[in-house]
Structure 1
Amino acid sequence: MYIDTIHDAIIGGEDELRQQLLEYQAILDNASLGIIFTRDRRFRHCNPRFSEMYGWPGNELIGQSTSIVYPSEQAFAALSSIAGPILGSGQRLDTELQMKRRDGSLFWCRMLGRAIDPSDHRKGTIFIVEDITERKNAEQALLRAHEELERRVQERTAELAMANARLHAEIQERKLAEQQIRYLAQHDALTGLPNRRLMEDRLEQAIEMARRHQGRVAVLFIDLDRFKPINDKHGHRVGDLLLQATAARLRKLLRAVDTVSRFGGDEFILVLPEMQSATAAVEAAQRVQGALAQPYFIEDHALSVTPSIGISLFPEHGQDASLLIGCADTAMYHAKKAGRANVQLFDPAMKT
């Protein structure tokens, strides 16, 4: 029975060893890199990828000198002189070199190698080879392009001096154009006031600042009463001049921290940070109302318009720009319904 147990253990060990060998062989067979085992500078084993790269059937390589995959005996000797000390010291060989296929064509490889036992070279060496021809070709193409560029630069130095002056002038012109584009993207073309996008950005900044310092921000939504009849009667030119005059009056009322924006048509929005109270916001709106209600003299026309103004406050009426603008707009419509030419502070009941 003891002999049977030993026999079973041996059989089991052989099965396990056979399974491990099958797994290792599967790894070699499916590796994307070429792998070879050499001893005494002769091939002892290679995987399918190595055979594919070099154009040699694996069974024909076995036993042959490893020099057959080098461009020349000199190249083989040069690598041997470098590889010997490295492998003998137990370090990993890592080099790039040209190698030769069976048909004589050359290609670039990256070769990694390590001795199985650095103290006994007779036990052989494992090499891993990667085809880096495409990378090398790209590097060489890049180098050639760089050299060509350097040549052209040297040939055209005098031309570039003049071109540089022209380019500097063009850059300055482009900067001015970009500044103008940015300005137009953020400002109303008719009045020069910040447009809706810029106003909303500044309102969000004011809200964030007020949130940090437990402050208030007031939003005043202004609509000019009976602007359309003036526009229809006197024409769009007079209507545009009236909007410009309104914008000029609003600018004069602002503090440095305030923002006035043309929201659209005959609607304007004022963003007033650092408001102490709802009463202060109403007082500010009343000053705006008084200033805008004064007569306008435009092209021999004496024109009068009055504003309807709605007010919303952060944080009482909303936590973001969109909500505050909506509340101020609602309050403005209530000012219209109340007979125009008046100020209304938003109340949640207005939405019911």
Structure 2
Amino acid sequence: MATTDKPTDNKEGALQTLLEYQAILDNASLGITFTRDRAFLHCNERFSEMFGWTSKELIGQPTSIAYPSLEDYQDLGDIAEQTLGTGKRMDIELLMKRRDGSTFWCRMMANAIDPHDHSKGTIFITEDITERRAASDAIRQLLLEQQAILANAHIGIAFVKQDRIITCNQHLEQIYGYQPDELINASFSKLLQTVDSFEPELEIASDIAKGGSFIREVRQKKKDGTLFWCSITANLVDQSALENGAVWLLDDISERKQAQDSLMQARLELELRVQQRTAELANSNLQLQHEIQVRQLAEEHIRHLANHDALTGLPNRRLLEDRLEHALGHARRNQNMVAVKFIDLDRFKEVNDKLGHRIGDILLQTVANRLRSLLREIDTISRIGGDEFILVLTDMSSEQHVLETAEKILHSLSQPYFIEQHTLSTTPSIGIAIYPQDGDNPEQLMSRADIAMYQVKKKGRKGYHLFREGDQA
């Protein structure tokens, strides 16, 4: 009996092994196929799904059906013959064709069963890399666009981190008289050592900490020692982390300075001649100029006060409604979304009651600065009174985009505030209304954003809520 059962056992064991191998192939995340004489002999489920066929339908089919054209098929055949014939593995990215005629990017890896005998067949492993290629192409295009901007900018641009020039454009090298790439990794502070020397990182940190921008006009020195006037502007990559570096803009303004000096000299000479001829007329003219300047400043100040919050400098309700009206008009023309966010600071009254209105005012100014750093220039931030802010976000692509922005605002405004040796904590309650689904005019959108904000308050504060029809009840 033992001798009779043994072949059966071997046969069953081989069948079991074959089934296990098939299960492994069908559950693999990559497409796997075995070809011989340029025809499909076997493939796993992933391979057939990738090309839009069933496994049985592919068996016996010529491998050329998976290629966009006969020329593409022949080109790959030439590459495969040169690579696989030497015993190497072929690894290539190319366009392949599905059953319905559509194409997709595919990474193909192949190994010959026997490099010296092609008749024994070839194993192909394939991966659909269409999304990865699209992402890579998008990144490459963005990089090319940024490089083009830097290359064609008529102003020197440098990215500096920890006093080292990480990258700069050609115009900056030309301004200072250096060869291409000669400034890369050079000390930025040494480059700026001039007659009017200063310490760039310390001064930019000081200016940014005061809530201002870093702008200087100083005399600089070229590589050959020539002095020139330079306008220098800097912006931190991260307002809260100096170590993350800054973008510096530098421009040779020598001609402008010379013109200003010439103009100033001509003006002085003219004033001297006028004074010599008639001192009374000169004094009257100076008085008139002064009055005009005072009036212009007063008018500008009045216009600013009429449209901006005196404490934070943000647009007030009047300017907010005007900008929201424009944003809605733009959205109607371009079929985009506009998000209106109503923000109320939780427990802000406790800060005023415990520490006084001065500390409360500083906190409101700090909140305004954080909001400015989070949003784009095309967006509008408005303080409409007390601790209430309204944001208008234009050109929003989707509701998810709106929620992602709300999450960033929630996280930023929930961080501690360090004001005059006080560590303060406040969180935002954010109500959101979206055009066109929640309304088509400023009053309706702001009202519904306000209603949505109160839903956050009811749930315990610190959060955001999209307006829903049931909220009005």
TM-score by length of 2: 0.40
Asked if residue 260 in structure 1 is aligned to residue 403 in structure 2, the reply is: no
Change (3 A) 1:162 1:230: closer
- Decide which structure has the larger Cα Rg and report it: 1
Return the letter of the residue paired with 2:295.
R
1:240 is the counterpart of 2:240? no
Are residue 273 (structure 1) and residue 394 (structure 2) matched?
yes
May I ask how many residue pairs the two structures share in their alignment?
196
Give structure 1 regions of 4+ aligned residues with deviation exceeding 6 angstroms.
157-161
Task: Tell me which amino acid in the other structure corresponds to 1:180.
Answer: H
For residue 340 of structure 1, what is the aligned residue in structure 2?
Answer: 461
Q: CA deviation at 1:318?
A: 1.0
| C-alpha RMSD over aligned residues | 1.5
CA deviations on 1:250-284 (whole Å, 9 max, x unpaired) are: 11111010111111100111110000111111111
Query: Who is 2:295 aligned against?
Result: 174
Residue in structure 2 matched with residue 204 of structure 1 by the alignment: 325
**Superimposed CA distance per residue, residues 209-252 of structure 1 (whole angstroms, 9 cap, x where no aligned partner):** 11111111100100001111121111111111111111111111
Q: Specify the alignment match of 2:443 in structure 1.
A: 322
User: Which structure's residues are more often helix, by fraction?
Assistant: 1
Identity of aligned residues (%): 59
After superposition, the C-alpha distances for 1:99-141 in whole angstroms (9 at most, x for unaligned) are xxxxxxxxxxxxxxxxxxxxxxxxxxxxxxxxxxxxxxxxxxx
CA distance in structure 2 between the aligned counterparts of 1:205 and 1:233, rounded to whole angstroms: 41
| Structure 2 residues without counterparts, runs of 5 or longer | 1-277
2:460 match: secondary structure: coil
- Residue number in structure 1 paired with 2:470: 349
Match of 1:315, as an amino acid? P
2:339 corresponds, among 218, 229, 241, to: 218
- Paired position in structure 2 for 1:295: 416
User: Is the aligned partner of 1:190 residue 2:311?
Assistant: yes
TM-score (norm 1): 0.54
Amino acid in structure 2 at the alignment position of 1:310: G
State the one-letter code of the partner of 2:341. L
Distance 2:286 2:354 in 1: 55
Aligned to 2:265: none
Alpha-carbon shift at residue 160 of structure 1 (Å): 6.2
Which protein, 1 or 2, shows the higher relative CO under an 8 Å CA cutoff with sep ≥ 6?
1
Counterpart CA distance in 2 for 1:263 and 1:158 is 52
Q: Distance in 1 between matches of 2:466 and 2:283?
A: 64
SS in 1 for 2:407: helix
- CA distance in structure 2 between the partners assigned to 1:343 and 1:312 by the alignment: 11
The one-letter code matched in structure 2 to 1:205 is H
Distance 1:290 1:187 in 2: 26
Aligned to 1:228: 349
Could you say which residue in structure 1 is the equivalent of 2:114?
none
User: In the TM superposition, what whole-angstrom CA distance separates every residue of 1:6-30 from its partner, at most 9, and x where no partner exists?
Assistant: xxxxxxxxxxxxxxxxxxxxxxxxx
Question: Structure 2 counterpart of 1:306, which letter?
Answer: T
In structure 1, distance between residues paired with 2:302 and 2:347: 34
Amino acid at match of 1:346: F
